[in-house]
Amino acid sequence: SDGYAAALVFLACLTGGQPAPVGHSPGAAAPDDLPEPLRRVVARATAEAPEARYPDARSFLAELEAAAAEVHGPQWPERGERLLADAAAATAGAQPLLGPDGPGAGPWWRRRRARLAVAGAVVMAVLAVVLVLLLDGGSPKQEVREPFTQAVAALARTPGVRYQDHDQYTGYYDVTVTATAERFGSVGEAADFSDKVDEDLVTVAGHDYLSYRNDTMLKGWTYDPGNDEKNMASLLKTYVTPAKLAATLSSALDQQPRLPVVGDKAAAAVTVDGQPAWRADTVQGYLYVTQKAPYRVLRWEPANPVTALAGLKAMAKNPSSQQPRSLEAHTPLTNSLGITLTPVTDAAGLYGKVVQYTKELTTATTGSSVQILQQNDGASNVACSHTGCLVNVAFSGPVYNASSAAYVLDKVYIELTVGSITTGGREVGGCTSGLQPYQLTGTSLSGKLTCNNPAGGPLFDQAAAENQDRANASGSSQFWDYADRLDLVVHPLSPTDVDQLVAKEQHELQSLG
């Protein structure tokens, strides 16, 4: 094996002899003065039974490096190179490191004059140089780094990035994020990316809104629907701006990633959705980029329980196997099984969608985060006269507004709508108060809203005259006003707020050039 061959070369470097031929008898002896930790490693590497040896040269090198650190300390490579350089200068004109000094003589470094200066240095230098060169086939391997560097740099400059994500259960997320942190897309429980999504989502000005597209009762944009204030922000925190994602990936590429090597057929055979891709094993998971320029990111597989379990199983089967870098770095696990990344370069189309969704938020409601109830019924809050019909509604209710900073509102707009007003038995119609602002400063909210229907004035006059005629004729009167289908709706935004957000988004588009 190559591990056995590496051990023979190592012994030859120590003894000054030539590497043993392939067919030589195993069990080669190490020098007597070799420290015991190193002797154990050499003994295993040159064991008589092949199955007792190291499986490959890299395994042998890893054990040899650990033994050298045990003997000479963690800085053994630097010390070895320094001592060896000093010794070489002190013995200028001596025989080469690996050459004999005449028949039957040992290597030059075993001479008394030089040995004290370089005791242990050759061992360390051999580890740091000879074996590395042997394992690398005599020359350093060329890593494929530039495609990753260029792809991440290009990502940082894009107007947006689309994330298509699956979690380890049944959920999926299809989210596009702009360079200025607006988000839109969909989330659902299906296993594929289809048009039949459970919920649409949009994030504007740091606030998240959902729309249950397939539910007629819940259809329409809602801020903080159905207690999602407890988890929506955490679900979406992975989907950041292109620049922030690029910064995360760039940092991971600076932390000793395992990169593909030029000429590695297995590495070159990797594909993402049929497209040839390079894969890097980083502390943030696996990153895939295109193999051909212009380079762009294709996929990101963050640290997750599946890859962690696979790494642990591999280690249990073969203790010398390499673990994913995310597992080695103890990176917190996510639920994502892999995210397809698509840089969005069409800024006009991207921000056009953001503006479209933002305009739809004019009718958005607060869902369950602000719950208010009217305190008086339809019969006690209506007063009609010759000027019209006036409806007054007092309300109060709790405010669930402190579970997450991403969901805190400082103001809401409440609208009273009345579906039907009756005066003296005559149908007047409805009315609305329009959106009225209320500051949110605590855990409850109360107030009074009023709406008026001027068309009720003439009808009231007619009904009142008829009622008076009946009273004159019969001596009794039956006259009442009544309001029906009263509704209090809480909105997070006013039309003016929406207009300001749209103007801001249009300015952001212009700033992107």
Kindly indicate the confidence band of residue 76, based on its pLDDT and cuts at 50, 70 and 90: low
pLDDT at res. 108: 38
pLDDT at res. 29: 60
Residue 395 forms part of a structural domain: yes
Q: Which of 158, 187, 157 is nearest to 172 (CA)?
A: 187
Q: Are residues 172 and 112 in the same domain?
A: no
Average pLDDT over residues 91-110: 42
pLDDT at res. 132: 53
Q: Are residues 418 and 308 in the same domain?
A: no
Q: Are residues 332 and 447 in the same domain?
A: no
Q: Are residues 389 and 415 in the same domain?
A: yes
pLDDT at res. 406: 45
pLDDT at res. 120: 53
Q: Are residues 129 and 156 in the same domain?
A: no
Q: Are residues 292 and 177 in the same domain?
A: yes
Contacts of 72 (CB under 8 A, 6+ apart): 79, 80, 120, 123, 124
Determine which of 15-24, 52-61, 179-188, 330-339 has the lowest per-residue pLDDT on average: 15-24
pLDDT tens-digit series, residues 406-465: 456 788 899 999 999 998 888 999 999 999 999 887 778 888 999 999 999 999 999 888
The number of distinct structural domains making up the chain is 3
| Tokens of residue 283, six digits | 């502390």
| Tokens of residue 84, six digits | 């060896």
Residue 351 forms part of a structural domain: no
Q: Which of 274, 226, 253 is nearest to 153 (CA)?
A: 253
Domain boundary (85, 115, 135) is at 135
Amino acid at 173: Y
Residue 156 forms part of a structural domain: yes
Q: Are residues 28 and 154 in the same domain?
A: no
pLDDT at res. 486: 87
pLDDT at res. 100: 42
Average pLDDT over residues 89-118: 43
Domain boundary (324, 344, 364) is at 344
Average pLDDT over residues 229-233: 54
> Residue 378 pLDDT > 50, yes or no?
no
Is there a contact between 295 and 150 (Cβ–Cβ < 8 Å)?
A: yes
Domain boundary (344, 362, 386) is at 344
Residue 43 forms part of a structural domain: yes
Residue 349 forms part of a structural domain: no
Highest mean pLDDT among 64-73, 108-117, 439-448 belongs to: 439-448
Q: Are residues 331 and 230 in the same domain?
A: yes
Q: Are residues 332 and 195 in the same domain?
A: yes
CATH classification at residue 321: 2.50.20
pLDDT tens-digit series, residues 181-207: 999 998 887 655 555 557 888 999 888
Q: Are residues 167 and 281 in the same domain?
A: yes
Residue 102 class from Cβ within 10 Å (0-12 exposed, 13-18 middle, 19+ buried)? Answer: exposed
Q: Are residues 394 and 464 in the same domain?
A: yes
Residue 474 forms part of a structural domain: yes
> Residue 130 pLDDT > 90, yes or no?
no
* Percent of residues, the chain, with pLDDT higher than 70: 70
Domain holding 250, by residue range, is: 147-344
Residue 500 forms part of a structural domain: no
> Residue 227 pLDDT > 70, yes or no?
no
Kindly indicate the confidence band of residue 118, based on its pLDDT and cuts at 50, 70 and 90: very low
Residue 499 forms part of a structural domain: no
Q: Could you tell me which residues are beta bridge partners of residue 421?
A: 429, 483
Q: Are residues 458 and 429 in the same domain?
A: yes
